């Protein structure tokens, strides 16, 4: 059982690293942002409720987000662990996740903080806006998302640090190098790649 969380500002590369780590450790990557976007695309009731917040770069209310993640973590593929990307984002969500995991006698094993300079992430998101046209990658919305991160999410790093589960990783540089840094930090904490474990 490997329970991981990737935390960091928008544009730090969480989604890219989450996909790679999920494959390497054979656990599902769970991105609340992806789940919300797919609900918006499919015109679900949840999507309709979330869309205005997302377009403005605000957090979707905790009540909606917490319900969504409870359902997702209860699915069978999470039995072997999971990698959370973009949840929790507020102290209320931390409480909710703690409660959910405690109910299963569990807790997060490692919280990986991807550290990235704000100027660099703004530039990355500008590029993503040009290439993928995500509606919340518009420059003003990006600046607001960074503020929301600073005000509501950055304090979570201290909470996890005080629990002794935080690994701070430099998120800048080549994608492969960042992945290598993360796997090394996880190995230091006793979480090894499945193929390495079986050798």
Query: Near ligand AMP by CB under 6 A, which window of 59-67, 108-116, 119-127, 172-180?
Result: 59-67
54 sits near ligand AMP (criterion: CB under 6 A):
yes
| Binding to ligand AMP, residues 68-107 (CB under 6 A) | 86-87, 89, 93
Q: How far is the CB of 62 from ligand AMP (least distance, A)?
A: 7
The residue (of 81 and 86) whose beta carbon lies closer to ligand AMP is 86
| From 20, 37, 72, 145, active-site residue | 145
Closest by Cα among 130, 94, 134, 99 to 111: 94
Rounded Cα distance between 159 and 184, Å, is 23
CA torsion angle 16 20 22 24 (round to 10): -170
Q: Which of 2, 17, 32, 39 binds ligand AMP (CB under 6 A)?
A: 32
| From 3, 37, 72, 89, active-site residue | 89
Would you call 37 a catalytic residue per the annotation?
no
Rounded Cα distance between 108 and 88, Å, is 11
Q: Which parts of the chain are beta strand (E)?
A: 2-7, 29-31, 81-85, 110-115, 166-170
Q: Is 130 exposed, middle or buried (0-12, 13-18, 19+ CB in 10 A)?
A: exposed
DSSP state of 114: E
Q: Which of 59, 72, 121, 166 binds ligand AMP (CB under 6 A)?
A: 59
Q: Which of 8, 9, 13, 57 binds ligand AMP (CB under 6 A)?
A: 57
Residues making contact with ligand AMP (CB under 6 A): 10, 32-33, 36, 53-54, 57-60, 65, 86-87, 89, 93, 136, 145
């Amino acid at each position: 059982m490997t329970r991981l969380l990737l935390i960091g500002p928008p544009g730090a590369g969480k989604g890219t690293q989450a996909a790679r780590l999920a494959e390497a450790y054979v656990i599902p990557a769970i991105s609340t942002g992806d789940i919300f976007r797919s609900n918006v695309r499919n015109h679900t009731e949840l999507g309709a409720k979330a869309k205005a917040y997302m377009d403005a770069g605000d957090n979707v209310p905790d009540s909606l987000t917490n319900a969504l993640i409870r359902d997702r973590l209860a699915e069978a593929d999470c039995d072997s662990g999971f990698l959370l990307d973009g949840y929790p984002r507020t102290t209320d969500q931390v409480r909710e996740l703690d409660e959910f995991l405690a109910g299963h006698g569990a807790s997060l094993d490692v919280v990986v903080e991807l550290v990235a300079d704000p100027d660099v992430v703004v530039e990355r998101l500008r590029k993503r806006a040009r290439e993928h046209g995500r509606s919340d990658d518009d420059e003003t919305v990006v600046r607001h998302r960074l503020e929301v991160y600073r005000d509501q999410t950055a304090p979570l790093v201290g909470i996890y640090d005080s629990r002794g589960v935080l690994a701070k990783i430099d998120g800048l540089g080549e994608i492969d190098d960042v992945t290598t840094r993360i796997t090394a930090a996880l190995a230091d904490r006793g979480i090894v790649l499945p193929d390495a474990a079986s050798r």
